[in-house]
Structure 1
Amino acid sequence: MKKFWMIILPFLLLGLTGCESVQKRANTQDTWSKIEKKKQVVIGLDDSFVPMGFVKKNGQLTGYDVDLAREVFKQYGIKVSFQTIDWSMNVTELRNGTIDLIWNGYSETPQRKEKVAFSRPYLRNEQVLVVKKNSPIHNFSQMKNYDLGMQTGSTAQQWYEGKQNVIHAKNVVLYDQIPNSFLDLNAGRIKGILLDEVYANYYIAHMTKGNYRVIENPKVPADMFAVGMRKGDKTLRKKINQGLINLQKNSKLKELNEKWFGKNSNYLGE
């Protein structure tokens, strides 16, 4: 046994050292000069997250955040490349350098701020409960007797697992992508889905036959969409913030809100 540990211990230490060096680099390295030189920035997203970033039937990537990111980086002459990722691994992809930004309906939360730096917020959101239209469930408290679905690594999961006293389910079922939870809701395997209001409203209005109800709760705090990046990327953060301010001043941000939501009520303003 002693001989085994003598052999395996150096590899374990090497792995830990490697993880620490990746984390240290992510927290200290400013990559703006590399991005500017390549004239390209890579954004990680879940390409099924309507209306922020999703693939249309013709295979084209579209969405509110897709449009917004392109408008921000157009100001700096930089092309935006979008990379589909496993959403539960977004921070790992960011730290490893596979992507430069997490920009896909990404809410700023205390848990995420420990590992990721955020831009200024640009859109208001909150968590809602979606049930079938004929469901006996009419409020959050009634979920205690039923199974509840949510996306792995989502704001909904973080909020549900936090110290909130608003909604508790009999069981929680996690999904890689939200559309899969709707399949289970239709089949009766779960009775509700906890998810972003932005997603719920758009999905029901544009991609279903309206067989669902959205349940809100005044005790649910608003969360803010912002851009996630490595803590070392201070210049990139400044560039994104200034880009968002510019789009706010020239009304382009307002136009995008009206294009994707039909109104400007989610807009944060100054």
Structure 2
Amino acid sequence: MKKQSLKKLIQTLVLALGAFLLAFSPLASTLTAHAADNQSSVSAIKKRGYIKIAVFGDLPPYGWVNKDGKRVGYDLYLARRIAKDLGVKAKFVQVNANNRVDTLNSNKADLVLANFTVTPERKQTVDFAKPYMKVSVGVVSKKSDPITKVSQLKGQKLIVNKGTTAEQYFTQHKTGASLLKFDSKTQQFNALKNGRAKALADDNSYLYAWVKNNPKYTVGIKQLGKSSYIAPAVKKGNKSLLNWTNKEITKLNGENFFEKDYNQELKPYFGSEVKASDIILTNQK
């Protein structure tokens, strides 16, 4: 073989090897992830002219569609302010509890504001910004036959929403309850009304709102485990939008925005036993 042909062959092999190593290196994975994240960066959102925000559509008073067909609620009030401060329009993407992470990972949403509780498991798959609410798992049941302690659930059916902290709590703690799981909030509350289970477990903050409209029921167990926190979430590695959102939460706290949000969107739906300080977080830096 001629020297020139051999030299050309070696160069070709070196280039091919380099491409192979790059394709399977951590650097390539990082570059690929960053490329995917760019479409949800602050600059990309501003260039596009709108931010895609994942919200609930059937969870009053946090996120639902009212009789006039308008999306309203505590999370929607925050979502519209975020879009305004970004200088773009808000485009809402309706989600259920169990597809919030997938909605981010598939780039269908830039930000999740769907009553998303921060957990160690979720931190592995999404990046949470600073929290804006606190919450605990509660249990609702009939006033005529109330569940006031977990031991009463042994051997009983308990309704939970898939992908929620309530499902996680009763899966991890062996209470003897048989879990009846549903995809949406509407389905789970209808199931309780239809007598398909003894009780229903979910975030106490909106169980309080639900029982006000359904006075035959009571939140017999107001708190299970430690308090958790509700926060906006972005796709893992999206530092641009994460950093901007953290600054936004700090700024809004300084303006007492969340107290105003509570008074307008939540207070009318809660009973007298619930106070703003039970729900909102203040003085975050």
TM-score, normalised to structure 2, is 0.80
Change (3 A) 1:86 1:218: closer
* Equivalent pair of 2:140/2:147 in contact (CA under 8 Å): no
Matched, 1:200 2:245: no
Task: Tell me, in whole angstroms, the C-alpha distance in 2 between the residues paired with 1:175 and 1:80.
Answer: 29
Matched, 1:60 2:70: yes
Which residue, 130, 135, 147 being the options, matches 1:137?
147
Identity of paired residues, percent? 27
Which residue, 250, 255, 260 being the options, matches 1:245?
250
Matched, 1:264 2:276: yes
Q: Any gaps of 5 or more consecutive residues in structure 1?
A: 1-16
Structure 1 moving runs of 4+ over 4 Å: none
> SS at the partner of 2:201?
strand
Matched, 1:221 2:231: no
* Equivalent pair of 2:204/2:222 in contact (CA under 8 Å): no
Change (3 A) 1:145 1:236: same
Residue 241 (structure 1) shift: 1.3
Q: Tell me the equivalent position of 1:184.
A: 191
Matched, 1:159 2:166: no
Task: Tell me, in whole angstroms, the C-alpha distance in 2 between the residues paired with 1:102 and 1:27.
Answer: 20
How many residues align? The count is 247
Matched, 1:70 2:83: no
Q: Tell me the equivalent position of 1:48.
A: 58
Q: Tell me the equivalent position of 1:89.
A: 99
Task: Tell me, in whole angstroms, the C-alpha distance in 1 between the residues paired with 2:146 and 2:121.
Answer: 34
Task: Tell me, in whole angstroms, the C-alpha distance in 2 between the residues paired with 1:136 and 1:123.
Answer: 27
* Equivalent pair of 2:45/2:51 in contact (CA under 8 Å): yes
Say which one has the larger Rg.
2
Which residue, 122, 132, 137 being the options, matches 1:122?
132
Task: Tell me, in whole angstroms, the C-alpha distance in 2 between the residues paired with 1:89 and 1:218.
Answer: 25
Q: Any gaps of 5 or more consecutive residues in structure 2?
A: 1-23, 268-274
Residue 58 (structure 1) shift: 2.0
Q: Tell me the equivalent position of 1:4.
A: none
Change (3 A) 1:218 1:232: closer
Q: Superposition RMSD on alpha carbons, in Å?
A: 2.4
> SS at the partner of 1:256?
helix
- Partner AA of 1:264 in structure 2: A
Task: Tell me, in whole angstroms, the C-alpha distance in 2 between the residues paired with 1:201 and 1:27.
Answer: 43
Residue 219 (structure 1) shift: 4.9
